[in-house]
Chain A
Amino acid sequence: MTDTTSLFPKYAKSRPFVARHPSVLIFLVCLALFTLGVTILSEGFGIGVISTSFIKTLGKTLCLCLVALAMDLVWGYTGILSLGHMAFFGIGGYAIGMWLMYARTEIIVVQSLAAAPLPPTPQEISDGIATQIFGVVGASEFPPIWAFAHSLPLQLAAVVLVPGLLALVFGWLAFRSRVTGVYLSILTQAMTLALSLYLFQNDSGLRGNNGLSGLQNLPGLDAVPQDTVSMWFLWASAAALGLGYVFAAWTVSGKFGSVLRAIRDNEARVRFLGYSVEAYKLFIFTVTAIIAAIAGALYYPQAGIINPAEIAPIASIYLAVWVAIGGRGRLYGAVIGAAFVSLLSTWFTGGQAPDINLGVYTVQWVDWWTILLGLSFVAVTLFAPKGIGGILDLLEQRRSPDRHGADLGPDAGALREKEADT
């Protein structure tokens, strides 16, 4: 693998995709080995070294890696710092959660009505489900947005379509009026805030701040123990991450990827070259929103509960933190960052990290982890813009392109010429 591959695309085309991008193969092998290892160590299918709750944590982490991958595409490669992708993630979770909750409540209601002297009418079943689900917010009728909740295929379509359409409309409005850079970030943050505030209302139709719960129970599969279900989800998450990685690697390679990076580095120049910058940005914004939603749809059945707080702007900021710490502008960087920071975060906030006794004051990590995270984020931005991924460069003895003292542009963490190889 030499620099000539990306400098001479025609030459590059003659070689297979995987050969041009060995990192994809390495990543897939690592992911497969990880999944195999976890399966062997799991309670459901193996020797039972890893607890079911930790399997769930690992499965959730894989989903977070997938959404981080999406964030890397849209931010690391295209330069759009979206603070709304965790909202798309949440919408995906809500969409699948509606079906899970509806179908499971339906089973319970039908069971309880089966003992009645008269067989229940469809209306009675529907009323029973609605009372069960919405009693907590003082309603007993289905809001219109639950119209498709009875059908798994329709809700699965909603997982893709709702965030996709939202991203399409929002992106079209924003990119059309040339809102860029920090303004776009603030705008996406406002969108996220609006969405979470809306969902916090009791009459939003999604149970207000109670959110949707009991999502870990798959309807009709009560007999299957959770340690088996958790492994299914782990496999599904790993498969989604693998597919997502291949898709992302394919997207950022070749001409399309070059245009994306060019937009990031100098949008005006790309526009002058005749490219429809808005179309590229809209495409990548929408596609990553859909990837984020799919990740969310896999995440929340493992988490078991979703509420509007998960959509709040801070979640999207943390997503940016993961990608930045992992190293943006390289796909494995996003994955490493998300896995590293979220697992560390679980460890620290789960109360497992030992407290540090300073004599006068005991540092309790539950309280101090967030501060450490915030400050390390500042430090990474200031001193290691390439993130953890930068360490690999040191190993490979690569050097950043030498621009003779010129500023590295809007995105100093990017490698430009070389990153297409990764």
Chain B
Amino acid sequence: MSVFRRFCTALLSALLILVALPLAAQTADAPIQRLLQDHAEIIAKSSRRTIGPAIDALGASDLAQAQTVLEKWQAKEMWFNKDTGLFVYAEEIDRKTIRAFDFDDGSEIGEFDDKGFKQLKPNSGIRGLIGAALVQFQLKNPDPTVRAAALDSIERDADATHLLALRAVRDGETDAALAMRIDRLERLLTIRFADTDAERIAAITSFEGDLGVDVRAALNPLVATVVDAAAALPEDADVLRTVTPGTDLLPAAQAYEILVAGGLAPPRISRADQKAALIDNIQGTTVAGIEVASLDAQDARDLAYAALVRQGAVEEAATDADVARALEAHVFFERLVGGAPPVALAAQAVLDGIEAKVAVNQSIDLGLDALSLASIYFLAAIGLAITFGVMGVINMAHGEFIMMGAYTGYVVQLFVPDYTLSILLAIPLAFAVTFGAGVAMERLVIRRLYHRPLETLLATFGISIALQQLAKNIFGTQARPLTAPGWLDGSLVFNDIVSISYIRIAIFVLALLFLALFLIVMNRTRLGLEVRAVTQNPRMAASMGINPDRINMLTFGFGSGIAGIAGVAIGLYAKVTSEMGADYIVQSFMTVVVGGVGNIWGTLLGVTMVGTLQKGIEWLNPSNTLAAQTYMILFIILFIQFRPRGIIALKGRAVEA
């Protein structure tokens, strides 16, 4: 059986070779094949270091088939005939047989046993080179998406050849957006790869005031400097300026290291090395005649080391006086290393202009951040502005109402998979849940404790502790997601620096809506009128036919319900945990107190101030948001010293009411 199979295989291969030979001979004269044959040796060798000329030749040739060659080569589909040395591309039919095609006209040559061919398997380095060469063909592709993809790949990893490719297609591009990208990319690559300084400077100045991160990335290496030292300041053009050692820019120790590295001064000895040297020279119980036991102070060790130097046992090390003298005797200066001095100076000038513009834009961005933080605090605080500000009830469980709202949203999303619909459902549901909880709490607890604010504070603390633990028992301690609908993903981008996520815009809009709702309810509805009447004088209000108990209950429910909606919004922005309300409660009370109790505009001012302040402190100390919160709370404590009744203080009788 096996004998028969071997015989068949042999027969078949002989047949195939017979068929193949004349066909292969046909294509050997095609220009593309000749080009490949010129570099056949290095292509077959397939080494990243030597492959360059072959790829360059393919990229530079005008042959239409060059692109096919590069693509097939990159995809590991190029083979060469071991007998004739001719290149073909092929697909594998099974493990032993391939179907070969001619590069010249793409015609099928036939099916062959793969023993006669060798597959070229370029490594990833070579594939990268091939990819770079392919880009110029892609840039001429009629499909705009292919051209855009080519630009993307140049942006990721550019090299000098791309500059020529871009210049070749710059004027021919028809798509306006792509033309702009090509133009920008061409100038960026000019900065990096152009031959003459004049060209590069022209490209650099064309970017004046451009905020793009890519521009700064291209310019920054040009203005790189190193600190160098010499006995006298050299006259070279690349010397930027002198620096004084011992300043923040150049600490004395670092300056001395530069001298040592430049061979201008002897090295100092570190304490560890000194110790090691002393240990090496211990003889019995002494080092250079000094008792080892007495070497428990740095001065004693310095003396012992000096004694060793006198004995010639160790190298002399620079003393502090030597260091000072050496620093005195040399000039330290910054040398431009990024590029030719005129180019570097031009880049520096453009960068300075950009930095100034960046600073302006960063403060705008910071302002937007502060605004969105302020609107989050406002959402958290507006319910309090009603229950605490208007009614004077301290509700320490307010944060837990926010949490309940957020968990309501989470539970709704468990049942309604559509995020848009679930959020639309969650908002009224969260209001209903927390309204109910608020009404229940008012009836059962707070009503019994009116006029005893400290007791209210304590009782609501108890409720807060219990609710938090209850949430932990039901939902566990890990954070639960509340996913925003897809249309809230992403950011509104103004430029590379200023951007704001849509979710923050949504929270800002929601905060404005809440403000409007509050104002309308309090000033334009009968409920608001009655609330204000009951707040000012419950007995008088009661004698006018208002039921103060009912009004208090509804007001408290309203404030709690708004906290629930705020919980949904905050849950979209941050994760839902049982402690999320507690995170906001102290700040919320602070903002209400800072703004002035009983005045919604005061609360608005309070949150704006607190938000701006916190973002400002974070900007000064970006690594540390905890510190920002700490300092902000300290600031508020101090602020209350000077305006104990807040920014907008109630005056007259209302103060004690």
Contact = CB atoms under 8 A, between A and B. Distances in A.
Interface of A: 79, 81, 117-123, 170, 173-174, 176-179, 181-183, 185-187, 189-191, 193-195, 197-198, 200-201, 203, 313-314, 317, 320-321, 324, 367-368, 370-371, 373-378, 381-382, 385, 407, 410-412
A412 B454 CA distance: 10
Contact of A186 (B449, B452, B590): B590
Interface string B625-644: 01101100110111011101
A26 B183 CA distance: 93
Contact of A381 (B296, B298, B462): B462
Contact of A118 (B275, B462, B638): B275
19 contacts: A117-B282, A119-B296, A121-B301, A123-B271, A173-B638, A174-B641, A176-B641, A187-B637, A190-B636, A195-B630, A201-B624, A201-B630, A203-B624, A321-B461, A368-B469, A374-B467, A376-B462, A378-B463, A412-B452
Contacts of A186: 394, 586, 589-590, 593
Contacts, number: 155
B458 interface: yes
A190 B465 contact: no
Contact of B462 (A81, A119, A197, A378): A378
Interface string B283-308: 00000000011111110010000000
Contacts of A79: 454
Interface string B447-483: 0110111110111011111111110110000000000
B279 interface: yes
B253 interface: no
B430 to A, nearest CB: 22
Given A190-B637, A378-B462, A119 B626 contact: no
Contacts of B282: 117
Nearest to A198: B630
Closest 6 CB pairs of A and B: A374-B466, A377-B462, A374-B465, A119-B296, A370-B469, A194-B633
Contact of A382 (B448, B464, B470, B473): B448
B162 to A, nearest CB: 43
Interface string B587-629: 0011001000000000000000000000000000000101101
B70 interface: no
B402 interface: no
A122 B638 CA distance: 42
B297 A122 contact: yes
A370 B466 CA distance: 6
Given A117-B279, A173-B637, A374 B462 contact: yes
Q: Is the interface of B mostly helix, strand, loop or mixed?
A: helix
Among B463, B582, B630, chain A packs the most CB atoms within 10 A around the CB of B630
A328 to B, nearest CB: 10
Contacts of A195: 630
Contact of A313 (B451, B453, B586): B586
Contacts of B454: 79, 81, 181-182, 185, 410-411
A198 B465 contact: no
B629 A197 contact: yes
A120 B279 CA distance: 12
B78 interface: no
A201 B637 contact: no
Among A177, A371, A411, chain B packs the most CB atoms within 10 A around the CB of A371
Nearest to A381: B459
A138 to B, nearest CB: 13
Q: Is the interface of A mostly helix, strand, loop or mixed?
A: helix
Contacts of B293: 119
Nearest to A385: B455
B462 A375 contact: yes
Contacts of B472: 367
B521 interface: no
B640 A375 contact: no
A324 B457 CA distance: 12
A374 B462 CA distance: 4
B278 interface: yes
B445 interface: yes
Nearest to B583: A193
Interface residues on B, range: 35 or more
Contacts of B626: 197-198, 200-201
Nearest to B275: A118
B453 A119 contact: no
A123 B466 CA distance: 52
Among B278, B452, B468, B642, chain A packs the most CB atoms within 10 A around the CB of B452
Contacts of A189: 586
Given A118-B275, A181-B453, 16 more contacts: A117-B282, A119-B293, A121-B297, A122-B296, A177-B640, A183-B644, A190-B636, A321-B461, A370-B468, A371-B469, A373-B466, A374-B461, A377-B465, A378-B445, A382-B445, A382-B448
Among A120, A197, A320, chain B packs the most CB atoms within 10 A around the CB of A197
B637 A321 contact: no
B637 to A, nearest CB: 6
Contacts of A183: 593, 640, 644
Interface string B361-381: 000000000000000000000
Among A117, A191, A195, chain B packs the most CB atoms within 10 A around the CB of A117
A378 B461 CA distance: 8
A66 B640 CA distance: 31
Nearest to A409: B452
A129 to B, nearest CB: 16
A406 B486 CA distance: 60
B295 A321 contact: no
A86 B472 CA distance: 24
Nearest to A407: B451
B465 A370 contact: yes
A376 B292 CA distance: 69
B464 A324 contact: no
Given A118-B292, A201-B624, A179 B465 contact: no
A348 to B, nearest CB: 12
Contacts of B275: 118
B391 to A, nearest CB: 13
Contacts of B278: 118
B630 A320 contact: no
A314 B579 CA distance: 12
Nearest to A172: B641
B473 A381 contact: no
Among B461, B468, B641, chain A packs the most CB atoms within 10 A around the CB of B461
Contacts of A179: 640, 644
Among B449, B453, B458, chain A packs the most CB atoms within 10 A around the CB of B458
Among B454, B630, B636, chain A packs the most CB atoms within 10 A around the CB of B454
Contacts of B452: 407, 410, 412
A321 B279 contact: no
Contact of B459 (A173, A181, A367, A377): A377
Contact of B457 (A122, A123, A182, A190): A182
A185 B470 CA distance: 25
Nearest to B463: A378
Interface string B541-575: 00000000000000000000000000000000000
A190 B630 contact: no
B469 A177 contact: no
A321 B459 CA distance: 10
Interface string B423-436: 00000000000000
A186 B591 CA distance: 11
A182 B637 contact: no
Contacts of B301: 118, 121
Contacts of A193: 586, 633
A148 B462 CA distance: 41
A408 to B, nearest CB: 9
B545 to A, nearest CB: 26
Contacts of B451: 407
Contacts of A122: 296-297
A123 B298 contact: yes
Contacts of A117: 279, 282, 292
Contacts of A411: 454
